[in-house]
Chains A and B, each alone.
Chain A
Amino acid sequence: MSTGVEAVAAKGWLGAHKWLLLRRASQLGILALFLLGPLAGVWIVKGNLTFSYTLNFLPLTDPYILLQSLLTRHLPETKAFVGAAIVLAFYLLVGGRVFCSWVCPVNMVTDAAGWLRERLGIKGGAHISRRTRYWILAMTLVLALATGTIAWELANPVSMFHRGLIFGMGAGWAVILALFLFELFVSNDGWCGRLCPVGAFYSLLGKFSFVRVTAAKRAACNDCMDCFVVCPEPQVIRPALKGVDGAGPVILAANCTNCGRCIDVCSKEVFAFGTRFGNKVAKVSQPAGEMTPAACK
């Protein structure tokens, strides 16, 4: 209940919501750029997240859909490859799942569901392993190979939502509503944290990405547990924060979305953005293994 209260007291409301506000600005801003064309006739960006063309100059391709297309044994035009290379390079720099926390429109839906879930005090629900998304990712690739079509696009709520907002939703609203209700009642972080193969794909880039959140001042941690509560992937924090098995302070786990919620919520300013190479082991405040599993939710 009191998550974040200490942070607000220590840093002020704005200071305790800085990254959240920036993130929403990024998500909405990107969407606005896409909508400016169809709604206002100002064509800065054309297309949608699967492929877009900015100022008739910059191609951006979703490497995940390009991979599926390649598996159907189609060889796309060069432009699509160039777009994918730019996107890959970008996420290798800023963090794979930055797509999830800073770009993907579904994130706002699932975050809203999570917020409401906490408000209504809804607890528990179905247990779905966080590994499921990798199975689904593999399944979508096998489907492309087996059917010779990008079959996952028939069901993918991520592209369906983004495309729908720009080109017309149709019954896509029902899919998004279902996703919202699923997150609300069935499984906390159920879609983004456990099932979504798009996030799973980008997490693979996160294994190598340059920008990472680091628990640089982990010695100052007072075990309030707020970061574990706000983190959409709480399992990634523990090794870095607690120095499990001598781990350094950088959160190297691929599923960290670089959302910065832990930075916002920490009153002791333990976390900051850094790089994966600032990972020398500093003094660890306390021995590993004090965390109770319950705290990890």
Chain B
Amino acid sequence: MEADKPRKPAAQARRQFLLDSARMACGVGLLGIGIGLYAKQAKALPPLALRPPGALKEKDFLGACVRCGLCVRDCPYDILSLATPDEPISTGTPYFVARQLPCEMCEDIPCVKACPTGALDHQLTDIGKAKMGLAVLVDQENCLNFLGLRCDICYRICPLIDKAITLEQQLNARTGKHALFIPVVHSDQCTGCGKCEKGCPLPVAAIKVYPTELAKGEPGKHYRLGWVEKDKAGGSLVAPDVQHQYNLPEGMRYESGKGLVPGGEAAPAVPPGSAAPGTQPVVPRALQGGKL
């Protein structure tokens, strides 16, 4: 075409400028895509790293925190650190590892007060409302209480004892006569401070605090719990309640705690499974693994 025609200097300069700009845009664009993809990866917090109290949702936190470390400095127990580039946490952001040093749940929450950006939300004034994560009793095979012992440490150490963790009694199926005291965490109360994880006496903790998004399930939006709805409505919503009828073999009757026994009248006084509050729930023999 006009390639061999001598170019006017202005046109040549313009062409050079456009070329340079294109080159620059490509190079810098590539770099940007690289960092962008890396940023996308770095958005997920590894399970063992917890954010200080009041931290915004991880995605928002990474846009709000300027990595200044004032929260780190004002924590009187020195539990927080800023991530270095070799750690799998967004570089420069504050975190703690519960098993090393849990949050002591300071009443005046100095870390939140120190934060100049609101990455730690200043709306949080009651540390009991913090949501740093959620404790989960992950290893039910090794938890001492699950084995029937009375360790109870996670329960006793919890700053919100009997609210965030309760002990639920169950029958010890192994012995058939003892109780298991099962630590149960309640997500509406647990602050994720990590004291339970720190306190667990096993070489590797059976109870661990995970970022809430990892730890918590979510029911389907359309799920309704029948018994809840019934309570709300003050009565059955579908059909009138009828007394449950047992169809027992002839000449047998059901007796609470014993199961089927020979004899006349049926209709147990207490329906199976229910128990007066505070007493050992009674499990039918059939469910205990014994023969009928």
Contacts and interface: CB of A to CB of B under 8 A. Distances in A.
A223 interface: no
Given A47-B69, A50-B66, A51-B68, A168 B118 contact: no
A43 B42 CA distance: 32
Interface in B65-95: 65-70, 72-74, 81-82, 84-87, 90-92
Interface in B191-224: none
B31 A76 contact: no
A159 B92 contact: yes
Interface of A: 37, 43, 46-48, 50-53, 59, 61-62, 65-66, 69, 72-77, 79-80, 83, 129, 131-132, 135-136, 138-140, 142-144, 146-155, 159-160, 163-164, 166-172, 174-175
B257 interface: no
A51 B70 contact: yes
Given A143-B32, A171-B84, A171-B85, A51 B66 contact: yes
11 contacts: A53-B114, A61-B116, A73-B63, A74-B117, A79-B116, A132-B24, A132-B27, A143-B39, A147-B36, A149-B63, A160-B92
A280 B181 CA distance: 88
A77 B66 contact: no
Contact of A155 (B35, B66, B72, B86): B35
A135 B66 contact: no
B66 A150 contact: yes
Given A48-B69, A72-B64, 15 more contacts: A46-B69, A47-B73, A50-B67, A74-B64, A74-B117, A74-B119, A76-B117, A77-B116, A77-B117, A147-B36, A147-B39, A155-B35, A163-B67, A167-B81, A167-B82
The 6 A-B residue pairs with the shortest CB-CB distance, nearest first, are A170-B84, A72-B63, A171-B86, A51-B68, A151-B39, A149-B62
B28 A132 contact: yes
A110 to B, nearest CB: 19
Contacts of A171: 84-86
Nearest to B117: A76
A166 B60 CA distance: 26
A277 to B, nearest CB: 33
A238 B84 CA distance: 42
A53 B25 contact: no
A14 B10 CA distance: 49
Contacts of A83: 116
Contacts, number: 151
B36 A146 contact: yes
Contacts of B116: 51, 53, 59, 61, 76-77, 79-80, 83
Interface string B11-47: 0000000001000110111011001101110110000
B28 A135 contact: yes
A83 B116 CA distance: 9
B154 interface: no
A135 B73 CA distance: 35
Contacts of A143: 32, 35-36, 39
Contact of B91 (A43, A52, A53, A160): A160
A153 B66 CA distance: 8
B115 interface: yes
A163 B40 CA distance: 22
A46 B70 CA distance: 6
Given A76-B117, A148-B63, A139 B69 contact: no
Contacts of A132: 24, 27-28
Contacts of B99: none
B239 to A, nearest CB: 51
A179 to B, nearest CB: 13
Nearest to A147: B39
Nearest to B72: A167
Contacts of B72: 167
Nearest to A142: B32
Given A69-B64, A72-B64, A77-B118, A168 B84 contact: yes
A11 to B, nearest CB: 41
